Amino acid sequence: MRPPEPHDRSTPHDRDRALRLMYALCGGAGFLVMATMAVTFVVRNADAGPWGVMRNFLRDATGNLASDFVYADLALTWAALAAFMVVEARRWRIRHVWAYIVGAPALALVVSFSVFMYVRQSRIAAAREPAAPRTVPTVPTAPASKGPQR
């Protein structure tokens, strides 16, 4: 009796591509949803001015116990993901990790984390690729001369 064959016959390259696609779709969808919500909020509160919009947002975000719960959960998740991103950025040599962390409250956590994971997966995929053989470039040399040329 033959052993059962594994269901997943995809290569690491296929899995990397699928993960990057998923991260890109999550980031794009998150951007569209969050940008739509942000624009809607700003338009509805435009009469309060720029500082009034911020004040109204913070008031609404922490206006009751349920919103406090969601806001606190989001802030704690952001802190945990920031620690993860710093560790993984050092591991995979991802530059400017601070931009992903600051991007969370500026854009949305779903956007900044998805973009970070996309970059991380790209680094993982690149590490799997065999390095191209390095060739030593040859410098053309002039033919040896027997003496000064006139």
- Residue 141: φ, ψ to 5°: -110, 150
Taking each continuous run of H as one helix and of E as one strand, the counts in the chain are: 5, 0
- Degrees to nearest 5, angle at CA 120 with 118 and 125: 95
Q: HEC states along 131-143?
A: CCCCCCCCCCCCC
pLDDT at 92: 97
The rounded distance, in Å, linking the Cα atoms of 65 and 77 is 18
Q: Hey, what are 133's tokens?
A: 């053989």
pLDDT, tens digit only, all 150 positions of the chain: 666 666 667 898 999 999 999 999 999 999 999 999 999 999 999 999 999 999 999 999 999 999 999 999 999 999 999 999 999 999 999 999 999 999 999 889 999 999 999 999 999 999 988 766 666 666 666 666 666 665
How many CB atoms within 10 Å of residue 101?
21
- pTM, two decimals, is 0.79
pLDDT at 148: 60
**Sequence letter at residue 20:** R
pLDDT at 86: 98
**Which helix or strand (DSSP H or E) is residue 106 part of?**
helix 97-106
pLDDT at 72: 93
